[in-house]
Structures are given as C-alpha cells and as structure tokens.
Amino acid sequence: MDDLSSESDCTTEYWIDWFLGAQGNEFFCEIDDEFLHDRFNLTGLNSEVQYYQYAMDLILDSFEQECDDETREQIERSARHLYGLIHARYIITQRGLQKMLDKYKNGDFGVCPRVHCHGNPLIPLGLSDIPHSAPVKMFCMKCEDVYHPQHVRYSSIDGAYFGTSFPIMLFQSYPHLIPDKSSSERYVPTISGFKIHDHARIARWQEKRRLELHERLERYEDQERNRS
C-alpha cells in the first residue's frame, strides 16, 4: 500500500472510509463494526502490531492522543497493518465472504491473463499467513494457477492480509461459482498444423539429460584434478 501518512490530515468522517478509498486498497472490503469491537476476533494481534491500542483507536475513530508528526506517522502505519491483519480474519467469516463475493462478481480483482480462461475473474491470495513474507497474488479458479497483480500499485500489498485459505473457503461456500474446466482448451504446439510427435519430446528430454550428465562429469573431473 502507498504511504498515506501525508494524507492523515484530510477531513474524513471515518478512517475506514479514508483507507478503503485510497488508491491501491481496492482489494480490501469494509470490516463490520461488530467484528472490530469483538475482542475475541483480535486475539494475539496486540503482540504483532506496534502502538496497537492507538492504532485500534484510530481505526475506530476514537483516537484523541496528542503526538508529534513522527509518532502520528508510525501510528498511521500500524493502523493500516492492523486493519490488514484483521481483514484476513474477517474475510473468512460468512459476512466477509459475502462482501468479497460481491467484489469478485463485479470483477474488482481483475481477470485471468490466460487466453483459455476467457476473462475468468481473479481473487486475491496470500502465499503465506505470516506478515511480510510475500506480497499478494491473484488466483484463478478456472486454471487453478497463481499470477502477479496486473497493476504495480497492488504489488506492495501484504499477502497475509488475505491469507492462504480465503479463495478455497469462498468457493467451498459458493460451489456454484466454480467454473467449468475444459481439458480440450489447452495450447498444443504444432508445426505447419501438425502436432509435435511424442518422440520429439522424448528426444529433447534425452538431450537435456545428456547435457546435464556431461556437465556433472566435467565438474567431477575438475574436482579430481584439483585434488591431485
């Protein structure tokens, strides 16, 4: 996400509205107040987020602490991180899944770049549930593959803000959304309209293996010469 601290003085009625309206945060949905106020949903996050209570107050629009600009910026950063961590928990609840489903249907996450997926909608995916491990990726249920976001502004979003389980839970909850997978829609290499014979593939594999073994043999001989 972009550094939004410079906009912290902008007049907004709610912090969450300001956060969701910022460029680059289009993948996030609004977390219900009831979820934010339930301490059970926030278990363990106080040890993962600096200035946790101040960050929580900022998210809930109850922050009244006087502080210098540097501290304010750190609290803003913590609030964005905290919202992301809570977001990962919220979107696997029934209410959160419904909100993300609406965004999925609207195509808010973009479409699969694979030609044979015919513009199937993508969905955010985290490759790890541990923060700061990997940026968010995009998952296509039709080809069951993972892609980089289509816009650079999404490349800095932490994948942990969506988690590894979210896409599968969404399609388990709404199985009618699982697209048909046609095995015939695969690119088949041809030359002048003729498929490449299996023997050609085997020959390429054998040649690759031969070169690998030749390189290993050369390395072994070099090591033996060095020892002598």
- pLDDT of 209 reads 84
Q: What is the CATH code for 106-187? A: 2.20.25.20
Phi-psi region of 118 (alpha: psi -120 to 50; beta: other; left: phi over 0): left
pLDDT tens sequence across 171-223: 999 999 998 876 667 777 667 766 666 666 676 777 888 888 888 888 888 88
Cβ burial, residue 113 (10 Å; 0-12/13-18/19+): middle
**Cα angle value 101/119/111 (rounded, 5°):** 55
- Residue 35 CA to residue 167 CA, distance in Å, equals 21
Below-70 pLDDT ranges, the chain: 1-13, 182-184, 189-190, 193-201, 203
- pLDDT of 206 reads 78
Rg (CA), the chain: 25
Residue found by looking up tokens 């990997």 in the block? 134
- pLDDT of 8 reads 43
193 token code pair: 């309209």
Q: Chain-centre distance of CA 224, in angstroms?
A: 48
Regarding the domain with residue range 1-90, which homologous superfamily does it belong to in the CATH classification? Answer: protein kinase ck2 holoenzyme, chain C, domain 1 (1.10.1820.10)
- pLDDT of 174 reads 95
- pLDDT of 210 reads 83
Residue found by looking up tokens 């973009």 in the block? 110
DSSP assignment string, 38-54: -GGGGTTGGGTSTTHHH
- pLDDT of 199 reads 61
Give me the residue spans of the domains in the chain.
1-90, 106-187, 190-227
Tell me whether domains 1-90 and 106-187 share a fold.
no
